[in-house]
Amino acid sequence: MLTERQLLLLQVIIDDFIDTAHPVGSRVLAKKGTIPFSAATIRNEMADLEELGFLEKMHSSSGRIPSEKGYRYYVDHLIKPVSHNKYRGIVSKLVQEGIYEFEQIVQMSAEILSELTSYTAIILGPEIFETQLKQLQIVPLSSQTAVAVLVTNTGHVEHRMVSLPEAINASDLEKLVNIINQKLVGIPIVKLQNIFYTEMADIMKRYLDDYENSLNYLKAIFLTDYPVKVYVSGTSNMLMQPEFNDIDKVRSFYTLMDKEDELIKLLKDSTPGIEVTIGNENEVEAIKDFSLITSSLRHEEEQIGTIALLGPKRMEYRKVISLLKGLSNEMTNTLYMWYKDKE
Amino acid sequence: MLTERQLLLLQVIIDDFIDTAHPVGSRVLAKKGTIPFSAATIRNEMADLEELGFLEKMHSSSGRIPSEKGYRYYVDHLIKPVSHNKYRGIVSKLVQEGIYEFEQIVQMSAEILSELTSYTAIILGPEIFETQLKQLQIVPLSSQTAVAVLVTNTGHVEHRMVSLPEAINASDLEKLVNIINQKLVGIPIVKLQNIFYTEMADIMKRYLDDYENSLNYLKAIFLTDYPVKVYVSGTSNMLMQPEFNDIDKVRSFYTLMDKEDELIKLLKDSTPGIEVTIGNENEVEAIKDFSLITSSLRHEEEQIGTIALLGPKRMEYRKVISLLKGLSNEMTNTLYMWYKDKE
DNA sequence: TGTTAGCACTCCAACTTCTCGAGTGCTAAT
DNA sequence: ATTAGCACTCGAGAAGTTGGAGTGCTAACA
């Protein structure tokens, strides 16, 4: 329904605004020569585009800036993805070094990402869905405390302090750990809780003197949710963006960044693939002035983590999207190889 | 060398400025009634105090604000520490729950601290000086990779991915781990590197087929420095301080906060006890507008960590210092008990 | 009929000017 | 020694001024 010329115009206006952060006027646009029409014509078209809701003015005699609808159209229809060969291979290079666990790799990728874009990178997870128990170890520290160490097949290590039941003795503890390892190695972490109640209860009853106590003890290890970790990187890069000249925006931005649970909410239920949320499209009030681009990392239909970039609505969508796409693909492949290798 | 009256005046002026962030004028001060003299007299004294370098003016007809020398004098001589009974016991309560490792407790304390003061809390370490190896575990993930897990007597867990040497077989690996655990458990982590070269080399030669390879392999585990961790908490609280109305200050502040190595430099060589650095007293350029209060956590002469508060020069020194002192004592005691218990 | 030049109008941003109040330093009186 | 009084200073904020970049509309043009 938009004419060829309107499309071109919309594209050029948004590109220009993304580049300069200044409202775009007809005169300047005409002078640039990208559009073979006079300023007056451009003005007319601009008025139409505004009527259609793609552009808006800050005040009656300012240039036009893209509306959220405008950005949305731009993202959905006007961007031809550019592939960023330059950065291809970053992840696999990290993997090849062989000294990082998966979580570290995700984190490092995000740092690179925020460096490359000067927006803020936020990473969720990777969650332990689908990762399997490789080994459980319980190391007693004193008579009352021990540390439980859980290693997964992805090289991830979780640990947690636990208090030991009074009655348990060293040999029982050893037996317990052996049973667990025999029975539970290879089981996806998520399913541990179920199995724990069904199969384990029986077995433990048979082998252990102090069944009751041991059970309670294990609960502390397996039945608490392991915390989801959020990494944020590059917040100070973003302060250079002119939209942050407003001190209140800075305040509310950092207040959000400090609330881990809000960030988790932001990234938690992302759908597969790249998803772009512009301004008020997002339900979280605090980022109504921002755009958020998320890409969920998946392994066999399971979401195991999310990489996201948070920036001003005036974001370099073209660059960011292709970058994130590339990175995401690479991560997925890497992930696939990884699991295949470790199984 | 300062008269009684000058001391009183200095005290009141700084207190007032810390409270209101506004330059303090003679008239207002006289009206408040804390000083039984007229505004004119106060003016004269103020002029003297300025000449002595304790006060300064923003411009020729503004009220007085404390100079750095003024703050220094205030901190050194005019503060009578108030004990904060209210918050006593926070740490020991956390410890009693028995489910946190030492590092978590430090971190949580710092969060509380920043919440209580609305300044930024920075914590370094605790470093692994003096903590002893409790157990080493090597869990193979694939034919080429494994994860090495190191548990200390404080309940701290370090882990790292390592690539396995081609030639090594499962039984050798097991032997290796056994040797290490037999020989190295109880050794302070810092000394591992030395012992590794002296004693271990011999032993390994005797027991292992593939001595050369195993040695190289272990290097990766023991000879890399484990990273010092920095936790920062409460940065957004601080934005509410009026000194942060200047956007450039905010920018430079957050740029600093993003540089982990700078922060480490800031806290690394703190002397025992509480140390207050005001503005330019600190060598790090980026915090010349701030004051930093550090308290190093010690165990038997060794610095094992640092808690610090970063705030504007106009800081509530009285409150902050006593709070930090209390917390620090509590931590040290806790630490002492902890080690005693775990040894 | 689509395009363009021209013109009157709008509005912000940046700059100046003005005013006011809170502050000072100095002097003379107490 | 202390204080009251007075002239002076300076910055913060209000009010006014200007210029430029923008618009919308109309009329002329290909």
pLDDT in tens, B237-273: 999 999 999 888 999 999 999 998 899 888 887 788 8
Q: What is the pLDDT of residue B175?
A: 82
- Residue B235 belongs to a domain with what CATH number? 3.30.450.40
Q: Are residues A337 and A205 in the same domain?
A: no
Does B163 sit within 8 Å of A98, measured CB to CB? yes
Residues A14 and B321: their CA atoms lie apart, in Å, by 53
% pLDDT > 90, chain A: 42
Most confident of A65-69, A246-250, B60-64: A65-69
Does B149 sit within 8 Å of A149, measured CB to CB? yes
Residues B292 and B307: their CA atoms lie apart, in Å, by 10
As given in the structure block, the two tokens for residue A100 are 């990082």
* pLDDT confidence band for B328 (50 / 70 / 90): confident
pLDDT digits (tens, 9 = 90+) for A100-120: 777 788 888 889 999 999 999
Residue B78 has pLDDT above 90, yes or no: yes
Q: Are residues B201 and B250 in the same domain?
A: no
Task: Considering only the beta carbons, identify the residue of B101, B141, B251 that sits closest to A161.
Answer: B101
Q: Who contacts A175 (Cβ-Cβ below 8 Å, separation ≥6)?
A: A207, A208
Q: Are residues B204 and B318 in the same domain?
A: no
More confident residue, B3 or A207: B3
CA B69 to C1' D8 (Å) is: 30
> What strand order describes the sheet that includes B274-278?
B230-233, B120-124, B302-312, B290-299, B274-278
Q: Are residues B274 and B318 in the same domain?
A: yes
Number of H helices, E strands in chain A: 14, 10
pLDDT digits (tens, 9 = 90+) for A183-210: 888 888 777 777 777 777 777 777 666 6
The distance between the two most distant Cα atoms of chain B, rounded to a whole number of Å, is 91
Taking an 8 Å Cβ-Cβ cutoff, which residues of chain A contact chain B? 98-101, 134-135, 137, 139, 141-142, 144-145, 147, 149, 151, 153-155, 157, 159-163, 220, 234-236, 239-240, 244-245, 247, 250-251, 254-255, 257-258, 341-342
Residue B287 has pLDDT above 90, yes or no: yes
Q: Are residues B29 and B142 in the same domain?
A: no
Residues B179 and B165: their CA atoms lie apart, in Å, by 18
Contacts of A247 in chain B (CB under 8 A): 244-245, 247, 250
- What mean pLDDT is reported for chain A? 85
- Residue A140 belongs to a domain with what CATH number? 3.30.390
CA distance B288 to chain A (A): 19
Residue matched to tokens 């998966």? A102
- Residue B45 belongs to a domain with what CATH number? 1.10.10.10
Does A251 sit within 8 Å of B247, measured CB to CB? no
Last residue of a domain, one of A197, A222, A247: A222
Contact (Cβ atoms closer than 8 angstroms) between residue B147 and residue B157: no
CA distance B272 to chain A (A): 28
DSSP single-letter state for residue B76: I
Helix B211-222 to helix B170-184 angle (10° resolution) is: 50
Q: Are residues B267 and B233 in the same domain?
A: yes
* pLDDT confidence band for B276 (50 / 70 / 90): very high
Residue of A nearest to B237 (CA): A255
> What strand order describes the sheet that includes A145-152?
A133-140, A145-152, A157-163
As given in the structure block, the two tokens for residue B155 are 């309940």
More confident residue, A120 or B179: A120
As given in the structure block, the two tokens for residue A105 are 């790799």
Q: What is the pLDDT of residue B54?
A: 98
Q: Are residues A29 and A63 in the same domain?
A: yes
Burial per residue of A266-289, b for 16 or more beta-carbon CB atoms within 10 angstroms, e otherwise: bbeebeeebebbbbeeeeeeebee
Q: Who contacts A276 (Cβ-Cβ below 8 Å, separation ≥6)?
A: A75, A291, A292, A293, A317, A321
In a 3-state reduction of DSSP, which class is residue A175?
helix
Residue A343 has pLDDT above 60, yes or no: no
In a 3-state reduction of DSSP, which class is residue B48?
helix
Does B240 sit within 8 Å of A100, measured CB to CB? no
According to DSSP, the residues that pair with A312 across neighbouring strands are A290
Residues B326 and A258: their CA atoms lie apart, in Å, by 26
Task: Considering only the beta carbons, identify the residue of A144, A151, A341 that sits closest to B147.
Answer: A151
Task: Considering only the beta carbons, identify the residue of B141, B160, B244 that sits closest to A99.
Answer: B160
Residues B90 and B44: their CA atoms lie apart, in Å, by 47
Residues B96 and B191: their CA atoms lie apart, in Å, by 31
Q: Are residues B108 and B237 in the same domain?
A: yes
Contacts of B163 in chain A (CB under 8 A): 98-99
Contacts of A145 in chain B (CB under 8 A): 98, 155
Contacts of B111 in chain A (CB under 8 A): none
* pLDDT confidence band for A314 (50 / 70 / 90): very high
Residues A238 and A249: their CA atoms lie apart, in Å, by 12
Q: What is the pLDDT of residue B144?
A: 78
Residue matched to tokens 């938009």? A2
Q: Are residues A337 and A234 in the same domain?
A: yes
Q: Who contacts B214 (Cβ-Cβ below 8 Å, separation ≥6)?
A: B165, B168, B172, B176, B204, B208
pLDDT digits (tens, 9 = 90+) for A131-164: 788 999 888 888 778 888 988 887 888 888 877 7
Q: How many interchain CB pairs under 8 A, A with B?
A: 111
* pLDDT confidence band for B60 (50 / 70 / 90): very high
Q: Are residues A240 and A96 in the same domain?
A: yes
Percent of chain A as helix, strand, coil, to the nearest 5: 55, 20, 25
Contacts of A133 in chain B (CB under 8 A): none
Average pLDDT over residues A74-85: 84
Contact (Cβ atoms closer than 8 angstroms) between residue B275 and residue B294: yes
Residues A153 and A134: their CA atoms lie apart, in Å, by 5
Identify the domain containing residue A201 by its residue range: 133-222
CA B62 to C1' C20 (Å) is: 15
pLDDT digits (tens, 9 = 90+) for B110-155: 899 999 999 999 998 766 556 788 999 888 888 778 888 988 887 8
% pLDDT > 70, chain A: 89
Residues of A from 33 to 62 whose C-beta is within 7 A of strand D: which are they? Answer: 39-40, 43, 46-47, 50, 57, 60-62
Backbone φ/ψ region at A186: left (φ over 0), alpha (ψ -120 to 50), beta: left
More confident residue, B268 or A314: A314
As given in the structure block, the two tokens for residue B220 are 């990766």
CA B24 to C1' C19 (Å) is: 23
* pLDDT confidence band for A62 (50 / 70 / 90): very high
The end-to-end CA distance of chain A, in Å, is 53
Residues B14 and B29: their CA atoms lie apart, in Å, by 11
Residue A174's closest CA among A200, A202, A140, A149? Answer: A140
Q: How many domains does chain B have?
A: 3
CA distance A96 to chain B (A): 10
Long-range CB contacts (within 8 A, 24+) of A280-289: A280/A68, A281/A68, A281/A72, A286/A252, A286/A255, A286/A256, A286/A262, A287/A256, A289/A243, A289/A249, A289/A313
CA dihedral for B30, B36, B41, B43, sign (positive or negative): negative
Residues B15 and B17: their CA atoms lie apart, in Å, by 6
Contacts of B245 in chain A (CB under 8 A): 247
Average pLDDT over residues A227-241: 88
Contact (Cβ atoms closer than 8 angstroms) between residue B307 and residue B335: no
* pLDDT confidence band for A19 (50 / 70 / 90): very high
As given in the structure block, the two tokens for residue A147 are 């540390």
**Which residue, counting CA atoms, is nearest to the C1' of nucleotide C11?**
A61
Backbone φ/ψ region at B87: left (φ over 0), alpha (ψ -120 to 50), beta: alpha
Residue B91's closest CA among B310, B315, B307? Answer: B307
Task: Considering only the beta carbons, identify the residue of B141, B236, B250 that sits closest to A153.
Answer: B141
Q: Are residues B71 and B112 in the same domain?
A: no
In degrees rounded to 5, what are phi and psi of residue A187? -85, 135
As given in the structure block, the two tokens for residue B127 are 């470093």
Give the count of beta carbons closer than 10 Å to the beta carbon of residue B305: 24
Average pLDDT over residues A292-305: 82
Last residue of a domain, one of A169, A198, A222: A222
pLDDT digits (tens, 9 = 90+) for B28-44: 999 988 899 999 999 99
* pLDDT confidence band for A273 (50 / 70 / 90): confident
Last residue of a domain, one of B222, B250, B273: B222
Q: Are residues A149 and A292 in the same domain?
A: no
